[in-house]
Amino acid sequence: MLAPAERTRYEAYRRPADRLRFLTGRVLARTVAGRYLGVPPTSVELDATCPDCGKQHGKPRIPGNDLELSISHAGQRVGLAVAVGTSIGLDVESTSRSSGDDLLNYALSDAELDAVAGRPAAERARLFFTYWARKEALMKATGLGLKVPLRSITLAPPEAPPALLASAHDALDPATTAIVDLDAGQGYAAAVAALTANGLTVNQRWWRAADFGELKPSR
């Protein structure tokens, strides 16, 4: 199912797990998009041109179509978000990584640091990954990814419904963003974000390896 540029990326991954995560994301994207478009997955063109360097490692798009995609992988999870006519971003994070002070200071705004200050370490780590997934989902929705500085935006406290409260970056405006947390299972935090003023309803579903046959469109 891989196009030549994807095949090159696939082969460049040294670790088998990274290869498989990449492959799974692209197979999912092609399969779901193909079903939506009514074409075989192999006929779906994914353009992931990086606006900075022109390589095929940016946000995937389907040229000439309003189906929007976002892919994320972490640990044992590979996620795909799809929407029609609305820019979306998906982020999945493994919460078993360490979340020391350096990472907190890099990712959280002053108001967010205040919200997690004084919490027990385990709770602070959980809240941090909730923030991180919500923030990165927003940044991926813009197509800029982490070129939007994580500290340039402030989100609602992690226990509150997810929302962008303030942004110092032109690409994100609290009036035209929506965020929804996903259930990615034990050991993961995940969120999907959209650039919209109309709210966001997410239908989440799980695929397991054995379910892939069910996704194959009939030809």
91 near ligand COA, rule: CB under 6 A = yes
**Contact by Cβ (8 Å): 90, 80:** yes
- H runs (alpha helix) in the chain: 4-12, 16-37, 101-107, 110-116, 121-142, 212-215
Nearer to ligand COA, 2 or 39 (CB): 2
59 near ligand COA, rule: CB under 6 A = yes
User: What tokens were used for 101?
Assistant: 């002070």
Q: Three-state DSSP class for 200?
A: coil
Q: Which of residues 14-53 bind ligand COA (CB under 6 A)?
A: 22, 25, 50, 52-53
Q: Three-state DSSP class for 113?
A: helix
Among 1, 2, 3, 144, binds ligand COA (CB under 6 A): 144
Phi, psi of 158 (to 5 degrees): -55, -30
Among 41, 143, 157, 162, binds ligand COA (CB under 6 A): 143
Residue 95 backbone class (left: φ over 0; alpha: ψ -120 to 50; beta: rest): alpha
145 near ligand COA, rule: CB under 6 A = yes
7 near ligand COA, rule: CB under 6 A = no
Nearer to ligand COA, 56 or 119 (CB): 56
Per CB under 6 A, residues contacting ligand COA are 22, 25, 50, 52-53, 57-60, 70-73, 91, 136, 140, 143-147
